[in-house]
Structure 1
Amino acid sequence: MDSVAEYWNDRALLEWQVELGVTDAILDEPVDRYALAPAAPKSKPQPAAPAQTAPTAPPPRPEPQAVDAVAIARTAAASAPDLDSLATAIQAFEYCDLKRGARNCVFSDGQPQARVMIIGEAPGREEDRAGRPFVGRAGQLLDRMFDAIDLSRAHTDVARATYITNVMPWRPPSNRTPEQAEIAMMLPFLERHITLIDPEIIVLMGNTPCQALLGRTGITRMRGQWTDVLGKPCMPMVHPAYLLRNTLAKRETWADLLALNARLRQKEA
């Protein structure tokens, strides 16, 4: 084919491709479409993520205020002008956890004008039920002990009467020994109790009242030895519950009772 004929043939083919919609020029060399890597699918445009802002830190919690239960007890006790208001202040005191497990607040028993004030440890099961100190087996023995020297919580003559209370007004779980912190927070009430009663002689029954008012324990060594509590003569004695377990100690307790009775008679002379 001569050059003129070839030109018109090529032009006719080009115009035919244009009519078919071809927009790209034909390359000089053929392209093997099967050898090309498949085109990646077009991803849909994703909406722009909102700008992330740093989370705002919560405001710091205020530090819990430490409660000075002893100071609160001291203020409440000092503001009690009489026994009724002292009992009310003790019942309103919310910082001793023993209160939550007890049935009753065991305040006292006996004659407030008595010459002898007996201080025990804490209520037991029977005392918690009755709301009175020393009413169980140990309490019955206590009554017989003081009856032997003509002293009684029920005595009509206040000169021969006794007044009974405890360091703790609430029963500890399973009759356990009161903890040091529990004793410390109830001590202001006990000291105010002694001041209001103003006895001639104080009897400390067992280790717990000795620890509270004398700052030491070891009742078997301390018993029978006169000391002072808040300016009052004081006689430490073993607790009646100890005597129920150790009957041989009753002999020494009888000697302590005789010494107490002699001290009272001496004051009467």
Structure 2
Amino acid sequence: MDNTDPEALLAALAWQVELGVDAAVGDVPVDRYAAPPPSEPATRQADAPRLDTSQRRHAPKQDDDHAQLVEQARQLAGRAATLAELRSAMAGFDGCILKQGARNLVFSDGHPAARLMIVGEAPGKDEDREGKPFVGRSGQLLDRMLAAIGRDRSDDSPNGGVYITNVLPWRPPANRDPGKDEMAMMKPFLLRHIALAAPDCLLLLGNAAMKTLYETDRGITAMRGQWREVGGIAAIASFHPAALLRNGLHKRSAWQDLQMLKSRLDTHG
């Protein structure tokens, strides 16, 4: 029999199955009671391979490159005097690798002069396709949440409208969470965005927005429903609508946060 002919091998296998063969065995019997062979001795510390000195320089080099990109973003954002200029500056910034895989820059939606500004995390598939934040299932839920407190992103009045953006303007692959380096790199643009829009209140939705602007490692569950300041603007954090879709138990807390937000907007109107 030709041991390299696939058809011959398959024919031999079929013949053995017909004979009742139901297990494969080797040419030599296996002694199940024999002691296992001795293991190889552990490599001594002196024999262990040493880390090449060039590898040690990679991490500091990456840190330096990231710091330079953050500084570049800060300078570009600082030179933007209008929202249109800020959008152009972000579109021309090539430091964030997410830009390479995204279809569109997702800058904002709603009324730029609205008293309420919402900051989300990052675009998803629908947002990337349309170039607007919160247009998928999360966006539909957000619209219902805003309607409950008398706000609508299509309203052109400062009191009734809302202005929406994200920490990241480009979609992360497979909708993964934004990375720390990515959020740090785009933070100068976000801070300038908030300064130019100059809202009365900020609503931060999700961990990425909250951690970026509050500069904390604590989670949204611990930090939601507390008033803080971001650049002199009153801010409150709450659950992202996507989290509410995954876990309806958070909706009660989110409703409480919305009521606190509405009360402050009505009181300081």
- What letter matches 1:199 in structure 2? P
TM-score normalised by L of structure 1: 0.74
Segments of structure 1 that go 5 or more residues without pairing to the other structure are 1-63
- CA displacement at 1:252 relative to structure 2: 1.2
- What letter matches 2:169 in structure 1? P
- What letter matches 2:266 in structure 1? R
Task: Give a deviation string over 1:163-220, Cα, whole Å, max 9, x none.
Answer: 0000000000001111111111100000000000000000100000111111123101
Match of 2:137?
Answer: 137
- CA displacement at 1:152 relative to structure 2: 1.2
Aligned-partner SS, 1:85 = helix
Distance in structure 1 (CA, Å) of the matches to 2:98 and 2:143: 27
Match of 1:148?
Answer: 148
Aligned-partner SS, 2:192 = helix
- CA displacement at 1:156 relative to structure 2: 3.0
Cα RMSD (Å): 1.3
- CA displacement at 1:235 relative to structure 2: 0.6
Task: Provide runs of 4+ in structure 1 moved above 2 Å.
Answer: 64-67
Match of 1:89?
Answer: 89
Contact 2:111 2:157 in 1 (8 A): no
Distance in structure 2 (CA, Å) of the matches to 1:237 and 1:154: 22
Match of 1:18?
Answer: none
Distance in structure 1 (CA, Å) of the matches to 2:97 and 2:157: 38
- What letter matches 1:231 in structure 2? G
Distance in structure 2 (CA, Å) of the matches to 1:157 and 1:190: 23
Segments of structure 2 that go 5 or more residues without pairing to the other structure are 1-60
Aligned-partner SS, 2:112 = coil
Aligned-partner SS, 1:158 = coil
Contact 2:127 2:135 in 1 (8 A): yes
- CA displacement at 1:128 relative to structure 2: 0.2
Match of 2:256?
Answer: 255
Distance in structure 1 (CA, Å) of the matches to 2:169 and 2:159: 26
Match of 1:168?
Answer: 168
TM-score normalised by L of structure 2: 0.74
Task: Give a deviation string over 1:206-263, Cα, whole Å, max 9, x none.
Answer: 0001111111231011111111111111010100000001112111111111111110
Length, aligned pairs only: 205
Distance in structure 1 (CA, Å) of the matches to 2:142 and 2:154: 13
Match of 1:226?
Answer: 227
Match of 1:116?
Answer: 116
Match of 1:180?
Answer: 180
- CA displacement at 1:121 relative to structure 2: 0.3
